[in-house]
Structure 1
Amino acid sequence: MSDALKQGAMQIVRRLYEAGFEAYLVGGCVRDEQLGRPVKDYDIATSAHPDKVQGLFERTVPTGLQHGTVTVVIGKKPYEVTTFRREGGYEAFRRPTEVEYIDSLTEDLQRRDFTMNAMAIDQSGDLIDPFDGLKDLKRGVLRCVGQAEERFGEDALRMMRCLRFASEYGLRVEQATWDALNSGISLLRHIAMERIRAELERMVGGSDPNRALELLAESRALRHVKQELLLSGLDKETEWPPLSRLMKMEHRLAFIYIRLEADPADVEADMIKLTFSRQQMETVKRIVAAHTVLVFGLDDATEWDEESYLRRRWIAAALTYGVSALRTLREIYLLEPAPIRTDNVKVGRAVDVWRRLGPVWLEQMPVSALAELAVGGKELMGHLGVKGGPWTGRLLHRLLEAAALGELCNDKETLLAAAREHYDKMQENDE
């Protein structure tokens, strides 16, 4: 895949050369090639102006003409081709106010963020590296091109990118770059929350989430974004278990919120501010809610250490929040020898039981959702001769729990017989 992708990119570079223009592969694709990492897309910089690029290729899309960018389609693959440019002043610490086309590759590379992203490859496959990006990569150093204060002042999002690159590529941030980041970190308040979320998502979901959390804590970056976040509290935490054992970004995030003792409503508010999708938010919230429900009130329970009681709690949570949320929660509980930091002995012991027996209990459940129950609301109403109401959902849930625990067989006759008894009890309690 990557070979075919590169061939398409080199085809564009050569076509531009043949037409008398300079053209080079630039940016992340060059960096990742030097590191032997897979390349997701290839970007091209050229001395040709956008109208010339459009004239040279059959299929083009004017994706960013105001920035000098044309997308060229080769086969079915899109490639961004951008004219060498110099950027004027910046507005809102994010976007250049004016773009001027130039003839110099070196000057074009000079406006980029970090030395490792300011390398190019020519039509012969030779590396052009005016700012020693490769040397920095080999030394394991992340360094801004030129003056770090200027680079971060032009585009404050570069500070979040700095933290992401350092964690993802295992790099040490060069001292002058780190000092500039710390002195300019308050500029993050100018950056849209969706941009912050995109960087955060890649950091937490990346190859070294623990290093990302360490850098976020050291820089206190999340205390300086546009909206106040519960996640900013992670700079009070110092030691984290290996989060990379959790495969999905959402599961890692759920663990972070659990460690910060967030309740589900706080999680929802935080994730809405950060513009996470509804689906991502639901996934994280369910895991946090399941944990909250499981440990809440254990102190007051008299039979808390009986296995049957802990099983009942575990299965009830699985029916409310979903089996997958409970499976993930158990993986979270397995992350630390001392389960979810707590001085509460009861919680500690209960979590220990859930870690050992939780998966077995989930496997043994004969039913795990209302759709699998042998009776539905209409049959209950018909059998009891009562109009539907709030009682219907409550009764169905009770039957589901009893069937999931193996206390009732999941067949129509058994469930309808039990329904009468449960319904009568509910009526007595409501009176």
Structure 2
Amino acid sequence: MAEQHQGFVWQYADPDMAAGSATVIRTLLDHGYEAYWVGGCVRDEYMGRKVSDMDITTSALPEMTSNLFPHVVPTGIKHGTVTIIENGQAFEVTTYRVESGYEDHRRPKEVVFVSNIEEDLKRRDFTMNAMALGMDGAWVDPFGGRRDIDLRMIRCVGDAEVRFREDALRMIRCIRFASVFGFSIAKGTWKGILTVRSTLSWIAMERIRSELDKMMSGPDPLRGLELLKRSGLYALMKVPFPYKQHNSKIIAAISIVQSSCLDLRWVLLFIGCGISSVQLDHLLRDWTFSNKRRESIVGLIKLQERWDHDSTGEPDSDRQLWINLVLEHGPEIANQWLSMQEALQTAEQQMIESTEQEKSITKSVHVQHARTWLDEMQVKSLKDLKVTGNELLQALNRKGGPWLGEVLRHLLVRTAAGVLLNNKDHLIEEARQVMNDEKE
């Protein structure tokens, strides 16, 4: 636990993390250097939010810091940052510095180490992130970060245009913070975004996508999306986002989906913007989504497209369509799609109640029926069948070929539909009958 006699006890940080960071600061202080907790951890503690990591700033040069600790990783020593491993935790320790020469609106060309913490805080993005906290509980808050948090306001440190030109990603971060924290954006800060927004095209999509993921998984993604639209930033990314035309009814369902289901929220946004699965596959690649996430998101869109195109509203035909879709995309995608339908129906119901309109968002699907159909499926993939391809070859005394895949697919579909029992003998007999019918 952090030592209480040192003055400050963390309320919203993991005790082991707080203790480890306190050891790092205390070591630096004992050797005659200044050291403070800084940035997001200080902000979150003041706001009563969970502290996820703890950064430290110090007057010690990186080489001096490295000499004081046995476990050091030189993560960014050129820019004054080393990572200290203490108490099983990793802490970034950065020397007070000032930066200049942001030629690509991202990285400083020159870094100069300084001895004054206020000079270091002056280079940071927003007042709420330009605060430091000492071991004795003393605050270093030269730009009114606590005041702006109390006002629920995001304000740049100094000149907003300068801050955004230094690192254009800060404009997206500003909107992300406003969305996640429910804060307003100061007039001068918003004006700065509108003035220099074209510089966003310099920023790699991976960095932007990371910020948007945090926004989309936050408590109010719709507010963030609206700010992106109002600012025009959505169209100025290196790979622009097609957000001009959108179905507000579908997008409204985003906030109904649990924040832990991030990719489902993305799917609703893409459907609401009318982006096809083919377009989306290219977009997600360019936006640096992982292959796993891309395949999952595109799979959900494909399932939606098939349902919208082939659903008749008749229970028997829709049940068979649903079984085919489950077999094609897998039960995990199917379950996610059903959760999405529930969110859409909830959003639609809320709009009907508020506007007294009765227009359907998408082709309706009785979610409870579909869940029942899914639960009733004896098999959901080929590996669930009680017969293998090799066993069919032996039983039918035939050589392999395209016919084998076709027969296995036939067995899978009919077993999933409940027409066949998932029994080895029954399945072999059905396969034999299929082959005999083909001969005739």
- Structure 1-normalised TM-score? 0.91
Letter in 2 for 1:335: A
Match of 1:46 in 2: 58
Q: Deviations over 1:135-156 (max 9, x none)?
A: 1111111110001000000000
Higher mean C-alpha displacement, 213-222 vs 144-153: 213-222
Q: Deviations over 1:155-206 (max 9, x none)?
A: 0010111111111111111111111112222211101111111111111122
Q: Deviations over 1:365-423 (max 9, x none)?
A: 11111101012222233333433223322221221111011011111222122223334
Tell me the distance in 2 between the aligned counterparts of 1:18 and 1:47. Answer: 13
Letter in 2 for 1:409: L
Give the gaps of 5 or more residues in structure 1. 299-303
1:259, CA displacement in angstroms? Answer: 2.0
Mapping of residues 145-294 of structure 1, within 5 Å:
145-230=157-242, 232-233=243-244, 237=248, 240-246=252-258, 247-294=260-307
1:212, CA displacement in angstroms? Answer: 2.1
Secondary structure of 1:93's aligned partner = coil
Tell me the distance in 2 between the aligned counterparts of 1:425 and 1:181. Answer: 70
**8 Å contact 1:209–1:244 — kept in the other structure?**
no
Letter in 2 for 1:330: L
**8 Å contact 1:164–1:203 — kept in the other structure?**
yes
Match of 1:24 in 2: 36
**8 Å contact 2:16–2:87 — kept in the other structure?**
no
Secondary structure of 2:303's aligned partner = helix
In the alignment of these two chains, the number of paired residues is 418
Letter in 2 for 1:315: I
Secondary structure of 2:365's aligned partner = helix
**8 Å contact 1:89–1:96 — kept in the other structure?**
yes
Mapping of residues 54-203 of structure 1, within 5 Å:
54-203=66-215
Match of 1:336 in 2: 344
**8 Å contact 2:99–2:108 — kept in the other structure?**
yes
Higher mean C-alpha displacement, 74-83 vs 3-12: 3-12
**8 Å contact 1:217–1:235 — kept in the other structure?**
no
1:347, CA displacement in angstroms? Answer: 9.0
Q: 1:383 to 1:229 in 2, by over 3 A?
A: farther
Mapping of residues 324-363 of structure 1, within 5 Å:
324-337=332-345, 338=348, 348=362, 351-353=364-366, 355-363=367-375
Is 2:20 the counterpart of 1:8? yes
Q: 1:24 to 1:427 in 2, by over 3 A?
A: farther
Higher mean C-alpha displacement, 109-118 vs 34-43: 34-43
Q: 1:293 to 1:165 in 2, by over 3 A?
A: same
Give the gaps of 5 or more residues in structure 2. 1-12, 352-356
Q: 1:108 to 1:346 in 2, by over 3 A?
A: closer
Q: 1:344 to 1:320 in 2, by over 3 A?
A: farther
Tell me the distance in 2 between the aligned counterparts of 1:290 and 1:424. Answer: 34
**8 Å contact 1:217–1:234 — kept in the other structure?**
no
Tell me the distance in 2 between the aligned counterparts of 1:50 and 1:7. Answer: 22
Letter in 1 for 2:283: D
Q: Deviations over 1:257-304 (max 9, x none)?
A: 222233322221111101111111111122111111122134xxxxx2
Q: 1:234 to 1:151 in 2, by over 3 A?
A: farther
Letter in 1 for 2:280: V
Q: 1:27 to 1:386 in 2, by over 3 A?
A: same
Letter in 2 for 1:250: D
**8 Å contact 1:72–1:78 — kept in the other structure?**
yes
Letter in 1 for 2:335: R
**8 Å contact 1:25–1:42 — kept in the other structure?**
yes
Mapping of residues 391-410 of structure 1, within 5 Å:
391-410=403-422
**8 Å contact 2:386–2:424 — kept in the other structure?**
yes
1:54, CA displacement in angstroms? Answer: 1.2
Tell me the distance in 1 between the aligned counterparts of 2:329 and 2:167. Answer: 41
Match of 1:379 in 2: 391
Tell me the distance in 1 between the aligned counterparts of 2:163 and 2:248. Answer: 30
Q: 1:7 to 1:92 in 2, by over 3 A?
A: same
Letter in 2 for 1:417: E
Tell me the distance in 2 between the aligned counterparts of 1:328 and 1:352. Answer: 14
Higher mean C-alpha displacement, 128-137 vs 417-426: 417-426
**8 Å contact 1:218–1:235 — kept in the other structure?**
no
1:11, CA displacement in angstroms? Answer: 1.8
1:94, CA displacement in angstroms? Answer: 0.3
Tell me the distance in 2 between the aligned counterparts of 1:251 and 1:200. Answer: 14
Secondary structure of 2:112's aligned partner = strand
Q: Deviations over 1:85-121 (max 9, x none)?
A: 0112112110000100111111110100000000110
Match of 1:301 in 2: none
Q: 1:385 to 1:143 in 2, by over 3 A?
A: same
